[in-house]
């Protein structure tokens, strides 16, 4: 049976799709066969995957993507469970029912949060939903600026939350968006870049949370 990682956050623009794609590429490289499920009707992950297939051929690094409406999630998971080691779900913002289904399906719910007050407050409903569904959670700080008192103040507020927070934070880096424009992940563009090191460290942290080894 595949291990399911759900990337969720009610706030749009938090980095769900970025994190899903970057983690998927990194997991596929280090941990096993990866399928992606995009239940966001915006279909941004699907657009990235299409470019990926055109650039890398059918195999696209052994990855698969299903772009489906949320109500089909259960059936699709059943179909993919035996064929893949990991399934990463990218979920939509503001869609209670669909997000709930995605969160319920996750062996781990990864929640990207940008270090600003608005993003911090907008995270509460996602955390509440995951807690209600009794799913393990991991907060991931995304777009961390290199310096500043405000981000640190937001992090201090998050630190008192009972929710575990990844030690690895993703910086605010052009490399994430630039790699996606080519249908790739940062580790495929320059494995020695800071972004590649960050996402690799995060993938290992997530694997550890899930009790997996590379």
Phi, psi of 88 (to 5 degrees): -110, 125
Query: Taking the complex as a whole, how short is the minimal distance between the CB of residue 42 and ligand ADP, in angstroms?
Result: 8
CB atoms within 10 A of CB 162: 7
Single residue of 17, 26, 66, 179 touching ligand ADP by CB under 6 A: 17
DSSP state letters, 78-123 = HHHHTT-SEEEEE--SS-HHHHHHHHHH-SEEEEEE-SSHHHHHHH
Contacts of 38 (CB under 8 A, 6+ apart): 20, 44, 45, 46, 49, 65, 66, 67, 68, 89, 90
Task: Decide whether 32 or 43 has the Cβ nearer to Mg ion.
Answer: 43
Give yes or no for a contact between 178 and 8, defined as CB atoms under 8 angstroms apart: no
CA 187 to chain centre: 15
148 binds, among ligand ADP, Mg ion, none (CB under 5 to 8 A by kind): none
**How many chain residues interact with ligand ADP (CB under 6 A)?**
16
CB atoms within 10 A of CB 41: 11
Single residue of 64, 72, 81, 173 touching ligand ADP by CB under 6 A: 173
Single residue of 3, 6, 17, 123 touching Mg ion by CB under 5 A: 17
Query: Taking the complex as a whole, how short is the minimal distance between the CB of residue 114 and ligand ADP, in angstroms?
Result: 8
Single residue of 124, 150, 153, 177 touching ligand ADP by CB under 6 A: 177
| 127 vs 169: CA distance, rounded Å | 18
Query: Taking the complex as a whole, how short is the minimal distance between the CB of residue 142 and ligand ADP, in angstroms?
Result: 5
- Scanning residues 111 to 150, which ones bind ligand ADP (CB under 6 A)? 142-143
| Window of 74-82, 115-123, 172-180, 183-191 that interacts with ligand ADP by CB under 6 A | 172-180
Query: Taking the complex as a whole, how short is the minimal distance between the CB of residue 175 and ligand ADP, in angstroms?
Result: 8
Task: Decide whether 11 or 16 has the Cβ nearer to Mg ion.
Answer: 16
Give yes or no for a contact between 60 and 73, defined as CB atoms under 8 angstroms apart: no
C-alpha atoms less than 13 angstroms from C-alpha of 87 in its C-beta half-sphere = 27
Distance in Å from the first CA to the final CA of the chain: 17
13 binds, among Mg ion, ligand ADP, none (CB under 5 to 8 A by kind): ligand ADP
| Window of 14-22, 25-33, 47-55, 119-127 that interacts with ligand ADP by CB under 6 A | 14-22
For binding to ligand ADP (CB under 6 A), which residues are involved? Answer: 9, 12-18, 44, 142-143, 170, 172-173, 176-177
């Amino acid at each position: 049976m595949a291990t399911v990682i759900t990337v969720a956050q009610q706030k749009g623009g938090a980095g769900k799709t970025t994190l899903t794609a970057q983690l998927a590429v990194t997991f596929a490289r280090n941990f096993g066969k990866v399928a992606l499920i995009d239940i966001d009707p915006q279909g941004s992950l699907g657009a990235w995957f299409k470019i990926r297939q055109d650039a890398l051929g059918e195999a696209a690094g052994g990855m698969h993507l299903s772009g489906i409406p949320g109500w089909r999630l259960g059936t699709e998971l059943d179909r993919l469970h035996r064929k893949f080691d990991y399934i990463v779900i990218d979920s939509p913002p503001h869609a209670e029912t669909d997000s709930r289904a995605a969160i319920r399906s996750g062996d781990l719910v990864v929640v990207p949060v940008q270090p600003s007050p608005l993003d911090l407050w907008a995270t509460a409903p996602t955390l509440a939903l995951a807690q209600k569904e009794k799913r393990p959670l991991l907060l991931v700080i995304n777009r961390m600026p290199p310096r500043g008192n405000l981000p640190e103040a937001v992090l201090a507020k998050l630190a008192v939350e009972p929710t575990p927070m990844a030690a690895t934070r993703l910086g605010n880096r052009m490399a994430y968006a630039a790699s996606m424009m080519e249908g790739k992940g940062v580790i495929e563009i320059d494995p020695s870049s800071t972004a590649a090191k960050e996402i690799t460290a995060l993938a290992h942290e997530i694997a550890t949370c899930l009790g997996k080894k590379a």
